[in-house]
Amino acid sequence: MTRVQGLGAPWGSSHTELLPRGHRVGDWAVTEPIGAGGWATVYAGRRADERAARAAAARGEPAEVALKIMPTAGLAPRQARNVAEAARREVEIGVRAGHPRLVRLLDSTVLTAPDHPALDGAVVLVMERATGSLRDLLDSGVTEAEGGRLIAGICEGLAHLHRVGWVHADLKPENVLVGADGSVKLADFGLATELTGTHGYAPPMGTLDYLPPERWKAQLGEQGVEIRPSADIWALGIVIHEVFASGAPLFPGATPVARGAAVQEYAAGRAPLRMAHGIPEFWRALAADCLAPTHAARAAHTAASLLERITDHGAGEPGPARRIRPVRLGRTARAALLAVVVCGAVSSAVWTYTAGEAAEEPPRRIQVFNAERACQDRADRDPRCSLGLAVDPLRPYTAGNVVPTRVWHADVLDTDCQLLRGEAVVDESDLQSTHWFRVRLPGPDPDARAWLPAVRTKDRPELPRCPAPAES
334 membership: H or E segment, kind and range: strand 334-342
Indicate the burial class of 31 (C-beta count within 10 angstroms; 0-12, 13-18, 19 or more). middle
Catalytic residue among 27, 170, 289, 411: 170
Q: Are 205 and 227 in contact (CB under 8 A)?
A: no
Q: Which of 365, 344, 351 is nearest to 265 (CA)?
A: 344
Indicate the burial class of 37 (C-beta count within 10 angstroms; 0-12, 13-18, 19 or more). buried
Neighbours of 161 (CB within 10 A): 26
Neighbours of 57 (CB within 10 A): 12
User: Any residues with CB less than 8 A from the CB of 115 and at least 6 apart, and which?
Assistant: none
Q: Are 420 and 139 in contact (CB under 8 A)?
A: yes
Q: For Cα atoms 326, 328, 331, give the angle at the middle one, nearest 5 degrees.
A: 160
- Beta strands (DSSP E) in 62-183 are 64-70, 105-110, 123-128, 132-133, 166-167, 176-178
3-state secondary structure 243-285: HHCCCCCCCCCCCHHHHHHHHHHHHCCCCCCCCCCCCCHHHHH
Q: Are 439 and 472 in contact (CB under 8 A)?
A: no
Active site residue 170: yes
Residues marked active site are found at 170
